[in-house]
Chains A and B, each alone.
Chain A
Amino acid sequence: MASKKDFVKFDKVDKSYDGKVLVVKDLQLDIAEGEFITMLGPSGSGKTTCLMMLAGFETPTNGEIYLDGKAISSIPPHKRGIGMVFQNYALFPHMTVYENLAFPLRVRKIPKDEADKKIDKALSMVSLQGFAARMPGQLSGGQQQRVAVARSLVFDPQLVLMDEPLGALDKNLRESMQYEIKHIHESIGVTVVYVTHDQSEALTMSNRIAVFNDGKVQQLSSPDELYEKPVNSFVAEFIGENNTFGGEVSDISGGKCKVKLANAEILANPISVKGKGERTTVSLRPERALINPSTKMDNLHKGKIEEVIYHGDHTRVRINLLGNPEFILKVPNSSSNLDIKLGNEINIGWNSDDARALDPK
């Protein structure tokens, strides 16, 4: 696919509802054609507002949004040709599944036989053949969700927006729907902008994730990079689990820095610290720290096991380490972990590369 890098472009977009507080601040975001991009963030972070501006239900206070090179701020929603899946599905309750799917085709005056073909195709895409005559109220939540997805795709839009579409489903259904939406995206190559506050959903489905907080994109990168290499402590904290140490940089040289904690010193990877004396929060993923490491690691400290929680495939161990009583370790249950007993003192080791010294919290 000859994909454009800036199929959708937010150019210095500001949005304020009341003229006092900016809910979206100076947003700069390019979305490539065919990409699955997720806007992820806590509630009130401005992600849904961005989606609504893209759909045309809100207008930017400042700046401009471009779709395929055209400025769209003055185009009303019904002329943008963007498919949308809403949080509560927003199926028309008085129409059958068929009529729901026919709605966007009818308003486009597509002949009936062609429309029927498109509807069949869309329904088979979400494996709901034979449900055309049902009313939305006769469908389960998952089925309604699929109808909503089919309806947003049936008129072949170039861009589909999804606003927390899986929020109302139970956990198992949500996971299977995640894969289903991902597969649909892969098979038809439509550009998807997806909004969620569920990080595992975002990590599973997206090509890229834009983490929103406080009206700003904190980090825009691929899921693995987001998880492995968070650029600030908000992202580190928001995505996945995270162990932190607050301290002060005492030395910085050769791509490593020493961070002085209350009663110890650790080695870390300087990401957003520049010089000596800066306050910093060191972030370390739980699975990057090992108990009694067999290889040599440049951080090795003793801690006391405070709590052991069995999770089936792994065990979570809470350790009081270097003055942080909330230090979490994840230990796979395959190996024999004889030392993991409540109250034991154990050695914990990690590489300084994995301990990222970020901005102070």
Chain B
Amino acid sequence: MSSETKKILTTDGIPLEVSLKKAEKKNKIKAFLLVAPLLFFLIITYVFPIGDMLFRSIDDKMVTQMLPKTFKAMENWDGQELPDEEVFAAFHEDFIKLVEDKREGKLSTQLNYTKNGFKSIIKKLRRASKKFEEGNYKEQIMAVHKRWADVEYWRAIQRRAPEFTGQKYLKGMDMYVNEEGKIVSVEEDRRIHRVLWLRTLEIAFFVTVFCFLMAYPIAHLLATLPMKYSNLLMICVLLPFWTSLLVRTASWMILLQQQGIVNDFFVGIGLVADDNRPEMMYNKTGSYVAMTQILLPFMVLPLYSVMKTISPSLMRAGKSLGGTPFVAFWKVYFPLTIPGIGAGCLLVFILAIGYYITPALVGGASGTLISNQIAFHMKSTLDWSFASAMGLMLLSGVLVIYWLYNKIVGIDNIKLG
């Protein structure tokens, strides 16, 4: 369109478009400078750590860098039979260097991840290598232990050649690449992560459902009560927000333990026998109860903000047109609160799926979530790449849920306030 219209010139002969851009440029720079600190902050605290996490989860350079010559020599090996002398010589050269740097222990740990049995034969090789003669390394190494003559172990070394690997992700799903290079599941009794993933989804789902069931009437009350009561109720809803998460979780521990207040009450009213107090903590029940209470405000607030905008005359109109109170609610009021329900459920679900402290404290063994496993690998096993991989799997799970939500409900239908 602009090409067809005649160019308008300003009084000093510059095209209007150019001078307008010039005038706006200054404002744009100013605006950018205003947001720059925040942008910078976000890059440092958000983009960079996530990028680093992604990198860590697939990074497998350690072995690659420890055995550079071996992997170079292995490029010509077809992997069918034992590699030839060239590979053994290169391996020997790399290994001697590692022994000098006292890093052969790390190599044995890393190789042991890939295949059990490397630890002892590397120890033996180190001792034997001191007496090695020059030349014919193949026979000398094979003589150290019979596993060195087993092609399986050389294949295991070869599998560590790539600088990047997805094996941490497979491990997160209780799968691994077997000797034939196929992706298979680990044995049934060693599958711990799948159970955790499913439990995380299950707990997040039910916490969302419980939060919704409890928050809907509360939010409705908040939106319809006269100001002086609704303010008080609002404070009751927000009070947990102002209390430390740890304090709230700890108070649930006091309430829910076997000799705790809730159990005392049940015994008091004769619901349960004194010698048969139910365990409500250190299991799923504990996670459900505490997480529902803690996440409730995140459901109440979006629902409230949506309900506040629904004119009471709509319900009246529904009734005056002949709808019973239930029909008026179901056909008129409820559909109008869907944006709030969507926002609340998405918020609670996403928060619940990554919840950590509460399940760690009250969840016990059967109530812990995947995030507790991530923390375990961060703090105890120091397998950061595995923790990163699981963290990213969790993140992508959340993104998938967000995407599904957008497909089904539409993200513009969300209303947070």
Measuring CB to CB, which residues of chain A are less than 8 angstroms from any residue of chain B?
55-57, 76-84, 86-88, 90-94, 103-104, 107-108, 151-152, 155, 161
Contact = CB atoms under 8 A, between A and B. Distances in A.
A101 B335 CA distance: 17
Interface string B319-346: 1111111011001100110000000000
A77 B313 contact: no
Contacts of A107: 321-324, 327
Contacts of B316: 55, 57, 77, 84, 86, 90
A103 B336 contact: no
B313 A93 contact: no
Given A86-B316, A93-B336, A151 B311 contact: no
Nearest to B336: A94
B409 to A, nearest CB: 13
B313 A103 contact: no
B317 A84 contact: yes
B323 to A, nearest CB: 5
B413 to A, nearest CB: 11
A346 B331 CA distance: 68
Contacts of B354: none
B314 A90 contact: yes
A104 B336 contact: no
Contact of A77 (B311, B319, B335): B319
A152 B319 CA distance: 12
Contacts of B331: 92, 103
A86 B319 contact: no
Nearest to B314: A90
B contact residues, range: 10 to 19
A90 B317 contact: yes
A155 B313 contact: no
Given A78-B328, A82-B320, 16 more contacts: A57-B316, A77-B316, A77-B319, A78-B322, A78-B323, A84-B321, A86-B316, A87-B313, A94-B335, A103-B318, A103-B323, A104-B322, A104-B323, A107-B321, A155-B322, A161-B320
7 contacts: A56-B319, A57-B319, A76-B325, A78-B319, A83-B320, A92-B331, A107-B323
Contacts of B319: 56-57, 76-78
Nearest to A87: B313
A109 B219 CA distance: 32
Contacts of A90: 311, 313-314, 316-317
A104 B313 contact: no
A82 B320 CA distance: 6
A323 B336 CA distance: 61
Contacts of A91: 317
A150 to B, nearest CB: 12
B254 to A, nearest CB: 43
A86 B314 CA distance: 9
A232 B316 CA distance: 36
A327 B313 CA distance: 44
A155 B336 contact: no
Nearest to A148: B317
Contact of B322 (A88, A94, A108): A108
Contacts of A103: 318, 321, 323, 331
Contacts of A79: 322
A108 B332 CA distance: 16
Contacts of A82: 320
Nearest to B333: A92
Nearest to A77: B319
Nearest to A79: B322
Contacts of A93: 336
A94 B328 CA distance: 13
A88 B311 contact: yes
Contacts of B325: 76, 78
Interface string B189-216: 0000000000000000000000000000
Contacts of A77: 316, 319-320
Contacts of B335: 94
A120 to B, nearest CB: 18
A81 B322 CA distance: 6
B324 A78 contact: yes
A161 B316 CA distance: 13
Contacts of A161: 320
Interface string B93-127: 00000000000000000000000000000000000
Given A90-B314, A93-B336, A155 B321 contact: yes
Contacts of B327: 107
